[in-house]
Structure 1
Amino acid sequence: MSLKIYGVLRSRATRPIWAAKEMGIPFEHVPVIQAYRLKDHTAADAPLNTASSAFRGINPNGLIPTLEDDGFVLHESLAITLYLARKAGSPLGPQDAKEEGLTAMWSLWGRGIEDDCLAILQKKDPEAAANRLRAPFAVLDSALEASGGYLVGNRFTIADINLAEVIRYAQPDRSLFEAAPHVQAWITACQSRPAYQAMMKEREGEPV
């Protein structure tokens, strides 16, 4: 199989793997664990990890996920999902320049709030993080109400995958979603999709 996605599912590799499953793109999943999660990532029996020379030869940044497609190598989860949609010619991808701009906008917007969403998941001063997120959640709520429930083109797209996987980190704080009912409805719809559920089932089977 020529297309490979490197990375464990307890990482941002969820995004391209969910996208590939949505679009029915065949791929080989190559588990690569974060080196910091291992007691000794240099041990002879250590699994393939982000510090392994074999993986650094593919991604010298030592970060996951990475995609390899018949010799073409691409890093960064948001770039990979967009590439997969373009490669597949899927309706999940942008259909014109305006949709391309909106997809990029929402994907990058999500990156801007990702640290605070992660702070909630990781319980690192979650109350302060939630307070910072209330304003952007209100923005997202209004945008979803105006756009028919999805971010781009009144349909489920790569933009929804990219942003939903950021917003998922904030789900332990129910108050954020109670104040943003359109965000709650949207994330529920995204996470109800069979491809998402299949991806999460595989994720739950990985070591914590």
Structure 2
Amino acid sequence: MITLYGVCRSRASRPLWLLAECGADFIHVPVIQAYRLKDARAADAALNTVSPAYLAVNPQGQIPAMEEDGLVLTESLAITLHIARRHGGLLGPQDGAEQALMEQWALFAATSVETPALEILYAIGAGGESQPETRAAIAVSAEKLRRPLARLERHLTAHDWMVGDRFTVADINTAECLRYAQEHSALIAEFPKVKAWIGRCQARPGFQAMWEKRLAEPA
């Protein structure tokens, strides 16, 4: 049985979306980020990333983490790839080539997309276009994203989905990393195939179920 630690307002959104898609049974242990609590070390504090009980699972104190049959994973994209291989059916790889492609796109999302997308999210949250400093930061991060987005655009011109011409874990991993930059609508509009693809991903019932739970969590 899978035990998943984390909350939807974290990178746990990725495996939680996948689990909603594949319908695998799992135990969800909500673990909140310590910085979101007034006193994370208080005796009555909610289970969080500095709680001793959670540090016994992941000494690095980050979410998500997953346990299954003695296996512990503490990186969100490794967790999704494992769940997809073991429980995902057509959401996971069907042969060695598909597994390699799904791993490639996960690394692409983590190394080329996520950091500048997060920079955009933070800059928009700090003032966005209304402040010269954040406006400049957004422009720099958007430029970093244009090259990987151009690659995605070319791929999605020939394919509706990332791997195997069907929706898979590769779409979840990449879409969730890119989601951070979606508030920069002008940038996303430069890449119409990417915009249409992420719309298809987020229209899926699995994403909608995860997102509803995310919205219900305290901000």
- Compute the TM-score of the two structures, normalised by the length of structure 2: 0.91
Deviation of the 1:71 alpha carbon: 3.3
Asked whether the equivalents of residues 66 and 77 of structure 1 are also in contact (C-alpha less than 8 Å), the reply is yes
Amino-acid identity (%): 51
Task: Pick the aligned partner of 2:210 from 193, 199, 205.
Answer: 199
Asked whether the equivalents of residues 35 and 41 of structure 1 are also in contact (C-alpha less than 8 Å), the reply is yes
Deviation of the 1:127 alpha carbon: 2.1
Deviation of the 1:28 alpha carbon: 1.7
**Partner of 2:149 in structure 1?**
137
Task: Pick the aligned partner of 1:150 from 140, 148, 161.
Answer: 161
**Partner AA of 1:134 in structure 2:** R
More helix by share: 2
Evaluate the alpha carbon distance shift between residue 178 and residue 53 of structure 1 in structure 2; reply closer, same or farther with a 3 A threshold. same
Deviation of the 1:58 alpha carbon: 0.8
- Residue 17, structure 1, aligned to residue 19, structure 2: no
- How far apart are the structure 2 equivalents of 1:108 and 1:167? 13
- How far apart are the structure 2 equivalents of 1:157 and 1:99? 10
Q: Deviations over 1:2-46 (max 9, x none)?
A: 321100111100011111110011112111011122221111111
Deviation of the 1:70 alpha carbon: 3.6
**Partner of 1:121 in structure 2?**
121
**Partner AA of 1:133 in structure 2:** L
Deviation of the 1:89 alpha carbon: 5.2
Q: Deviations over 1:110-165 (max 9, x none)?
A: 1112111011111162221112111211111001112x211101110000000000
**Partner of 2:55 in structure 1?**
56
- Compute the TM-score of the two structures, normalised by the length of structure 1: 0.95
**Any stretches of 5+ residues in structure 2 without a counterpart?**
124-133
The alignment yields a C-alpha RMSD, in angstroms, of 1.2
- How far apart are the structure 1 equivalents of 2:29 and 2:207? 19
- How far apart are the structure 2 equivalents of 1:199 and 1:15? 9
**Partner AA of 2:141 in structure 1:** A
